[in-house]
Structure 1
């Protein structure tokens, strides 16, 4: 087992990893920018190192500074959390070259799944069902029109690099295809420095279903259930559930077996999430995230398995310690991502939290690194924290979530709490009758 882990992240995920390390008897190192000097993960770490000014490029994305922090403190492993360098293959390679373990997949696995075109080719070869689309990148107007005609309209033009909905444009006719591809390329170039795009069939009303897997890097992989992440705004997840209200046990068994077999063939190492669109009883692979997900707590709540503990064990060379038959699912869990944003305009709302009271009670978990008097900086994402609620049934979970939302107090800034208080009373939410377009249509009607 590792003696000291450096956590190359900030906010709630840095604190989440820190807690897991302490439970395993591992010393922790927090890195931070000058904007995060008073952050909770810095206060609670065994050691801390300032790695640069507020801008992420000069601090949390500064690989030389992070490697230097490892050498100064004697950290023998790095946990990257999510975001920042968590899916940076070069970072993983550099750490390994310095004799420091990257708590995550191999650099090659990160590289394969980080390129959406290569990821789709690999998924297809591994036996995962994929969305019909182009075999690779499309580069000319003629190629765009030819492939769009073959796939059928509407068609989605997507950037091969990056994520978060950037570089994604819908074309509903042949006339729109070329201009849509031009827009997608421009967005992709601006966001990721890579203007390569490809085409996929646009599904009209799918759900977003993701499968949590854990591999030991030696050919064993297990599935820890699915999450439904269909409530999204601009392709960003807002509300996640485990398990999905849309699937039955036969569908679960089938997709679990397919994913486990694929990851065994890949000899995948660590935690990963295989993401699908699901429509009319069919799954379609869209991407794989080679890291811990923001929404991992809902999986922990229904399985009782600490995913960060599992990541650390596997990275240290130990077996997963679980067989597929050992996994038992209990009840239902929902996570709400609470952001420092205006609940109608979604404009970020940095500033000082004047009053803060998280909810509690049976089945209620809050993953957050904020506190009363904490100043949310304007330099990073707007996540305040995550409210995760568990119940024996989905109905009980929804009732408990309603109570927890009523208890939650965050004053001094705008937050998305009013959005969730509105959603929890909507009959479509109660019935689980929503798809990936539902939330944007709801917001367009002027709700909240």
Structure 2
């Protein structure tokens, strides 16, 4: 008996009891659907995060803040001669910057000052609050335009897509080259200062750094100068964070730098690490869902065992006749193993096809509703590698589940089997 004959016999025998086989396939189908759908979501979200990280670039750039990352900020800190209560305001001074620069393995230091403004106005003159930061040399994902200047005195700003309509621009393209007015106030003199900035780009929405406008270096310095009018020099030299670039980009080297910063009373984290936390968090969530799918497959494997055991019992005389005519134990085992694999193949394929259909429908709905505006975000994605992996694993599970009844069929004595009633 050739392989083609074994496969044909298995496919034919599988449907001797259609109801029993159908219910077993449904059990496999449910597990396959759950796992395929979950992996599709995982692929879609991870793909989008990778695109965002790729668009931003400079993921190794480290943000350094005051306070150890292991420190509980809710607990009172013990007094020591190297640290005063002034550090409690969450700001750093020149001494802090000096200490950070003493940490080996870092370069390109940039101390960032607070650049808060009261409000911003566009062409429609409506006053809006704004959340923004001075450029750190990161290449943000833009819908239109170009990045802000990282040096010089040019007052440039990147705005977000929601800001376009709110500020009174017709569309993102219309905003390019137009002016917005930022109004800030000195904490000492209480005098308001109006600063005009040119819109040079509109940012795409991003889960990595969403909602922030970006100031050019020149605009940031103008805002800082206006905020600090009348302040004594000691209060002017305050920083919210220090940006630096690790010389060695390896994970072990970055970890060593972070440990050294912690020893000096600071915490550092790269954008890459922050994004990796997003990956880990989401993978943990989808991992739980995959476990539910795996539980369904385990339940389905018992159904495969039951179906094939019943098939062996129903076809005992047939098995005895085949063995009496010279069919080897290996061939009998192969027939029942093929039946188990076919159950897995049918169940996993149907589950995968339905998951793809539901995925396409959900992607269309998501693009028009809760994911509207997130360009390039396909919530559920399937690829050949993950699809074939799902089918392969499920077929392996059903094959292993079918080995016990297949062995029983192969070991049947032909004389005893022919006498079976």
| TM-score scaled by length of structure 1 | 0.20
- Structure 1 or 2, whichever has the larger Rg, is 2
Quick one: higher RCO (CA 8 Å, sep 6+), 1 or 2? 2
Greater fraction of residues in helix: 2
TM-score calculated relative to the size of structure 2: 0.21
Higher strand residue share: 1
